[in-house]
Chain A
Amino acid sequence: MQLPVLDNSRFGGGRGEFQQRRDRPEVSRRRFLRTGLAAGSGLAALAAAASPLSRLAGVDHDVFANFFQKHYKAMSRAEIDSALERIRRDVGRRYGVAATVQDVRPLDGVEFVYALNLSRCNGNRRCVHACVKENNQSRSPEMQYIRVIEMPKGTLDVEQGNHHFDSEAVPDQEHYYLPVQCHQCANPPCVKVCPVEATWQEPDGITVIDYDWCIGCRYCEAACPYWARRFNFSDPVIPSDELNPDMSYLSNRPRSKGVMEKCTFCLHRTRQGRLPACLEACPTGARKFGNVLDPDSEVSQILRTKRIFVLKQEVGTLPRFFYYFDERYPRSGEADTADDSHDKSVKHGGTS
């Protein structure tokens, strides 16, 4: 490549000048000092820029403790036990609570399914808050796995719903209520997209997250069609007196910032045969849970006899969460005919 203006040969004068400048000791000393100061101040600015990192030193973090910990599926029994022990210690140190941290394995011959009777749900949100307590979710910033949506009748378009309904009492007669949480889909898009396999589906159908493996890229949060996954934008805040000490590795042990979490069908309870916290808190009995492989379980019977449907079926996620209505009459206070003055006894053919 030719440079039109400059070429090598004409630098004789320049070299001489430059060489002369370099030979004068006062000049070179001054230059050295200035260069040194500039470099020093630059490095000082660099160090000062990184100064917030000093806040990491004294804080109780598990960042380095679990750096070498393997993926849950790759850990041996002993390694899992030492991880559980570490978690127990951390909980004791941070919250002053003696927790039991277990590794609860799936039961054989069990596949969980959840059914929700939309005729019975009145939107009182007790499930939401029972879940928060049971699963040690952050209170600030707030995290809630379950979202109850107040829906106008006749549509399943969640965009027409209202998440922030707030009235004296529920239910509102013009609406029905749709609680949504992780559906533990049989074809989960979140599992597909995780680059490090930090989330996977277990044999009993529950999609779990290894909180010590997640890198926090939030791809799964973007992928979930039901907005079921939550991210810890900061260290979770849980009051010590509200901590649930009955914990397990894959479900409700305290998480750190920067990792994902979600509903796990309370696997620390359900894998030991108990019902999930949301179901037990529901005052109207709208929630049903059980083993779909057992033909006599209530969920199996619901799937066989009720008119069930799932949300966003067209996305092809094959959810394990089924909704149904089984109301036969309008609820009290609602008119079932256009003309309320009509004599009911005549209509229903009954006598007094």
Chain B
Amino acid sequence: MERLDERSVQHMEQPSSSMADVLVAWMIIPVFLALVGWFSLDVDLTDTPDAPTVQVPASLVSTAPLRVIIRGAPTIKAGGFDLRCSECHRLFPSRVDARSTMAQHRHIVLNHGLNDRCLNCHDQSDRNRLRLHDGSTVPFDEAQDLCSNCHGPTFRDWERGMHGRTNGYWNTDLGEQRRLTCTECHNPHSPDIPPMTLLPGPNTLRMGEQGQHDGTGGGGKRNPLRQWNVGGDDLPSREFP
């Protein structure tokens, strides 16, 4: 509480202001002017992070098929010439039980499940065509007829559009729909879709450190599922060969 001092008592005509009153009163204008100065400096105190996404070239997201299939009869380069299959195979007989490892077609690696004989699919008498189970032949660009001999359910799905890749229109009244045939995705000698390169993952705003983690719940008990399946932070519980 302020006590009136001698000076104030004497100046009865002027109401006295204490030192604090004067100080604060004179502070007001400089403080506001300092604010004007500070705002004019336009200092940005906030860190606005750069969170750009990696630009992906258009080729990586193209709608083109994975493989280009053989139309007509396949050819092979030998001795500087493009030769049809039949041109050599007319001359050289091949073993009926020829397996995957062969001197002549080294680049072909046969890894097609139980199939370990070339002639399971290729026709012995006409190497320009493929052989179905009933002995008839089909050209290379209609391989689905051959594949369906073993892969019946998959073929049934494919016919209905449930398996395989589609481009173009879902509504065939409005445009053309292109359904890719088996060999446009699957290499017939090694039909598993090969591992692909991975496009960049998310880099969203203020994402922070990210890693994989196990779920919550379960009360810390051991999950029998993890005997054979990897969890979040778990290593595989047994080594696969």
Contacts and interface: CB of A to CB of B under 8 A. Distances in A.
Direct contact between A and B in the complex (CB less than 8 angstroms)?
yes
Interface of A: 17-18, 20-21, 24, 27, 34, 37-38, 41-42, 44-45, 48-49, 51-52, 107, 117, 122-126, 128-130, 132-133, 139-144, 147, 150, 152-155, 157, 159-171, 173-175, 233-234, 239, 242, 270, 272-275, 279-285, 288-291, 297-298, 301-302, 305-306, 326, 328, 331-332, 334-335, 340, 344-345, 348, 350, 352
Interface in B18-36: 25, 28-29, 32-33, 35-36
A155 B215 contact: yes
Contact of A274 (B35, B170, B195): B170
B120 to A, nearest CB: 12
Contacts of B63: 280-281
B132 interface: no
Closest A-B pairs by Cβ, 7 of them: A273-B174, A298-B161, A285-B165, A273-B171, A169-B195, A142-B53, A41-B32
- For this complex, into which size category does the number of interface residues on chain B fall? 35 or more
A323 to B, nearest CB: 14
Contact of A157 (B33, B193, B215): B215
A109 to B, nearest CB: 11
B39 A174 contact: no
Contacts of A334: 240
Contacts of B174: 272-274
A328 B201 contact: no
B5 interface: no
Contacts, number: 229
Given A17-B15, A132-B53, A270 B196 contact: no
The binding surface of chain B is classed by DSSP as: loop
A51 B225 contact: no
Contact of B61 (A130, A147, A171, A288): A130
Contacts of B13: 17, 20-21, 24
B29 A38 contact: yes
A147 B199 CA distance: 12
A48 B162 contact: no
Contacts of B36: 41, 44-45, 48
Given A45-B32, A164-B211, A142 B51 contact: yes
B67 to A, nearest CB: 10
Contacts of A130: 61
Contacts of A154: 225, 229
A20 B195 CA distance: 95
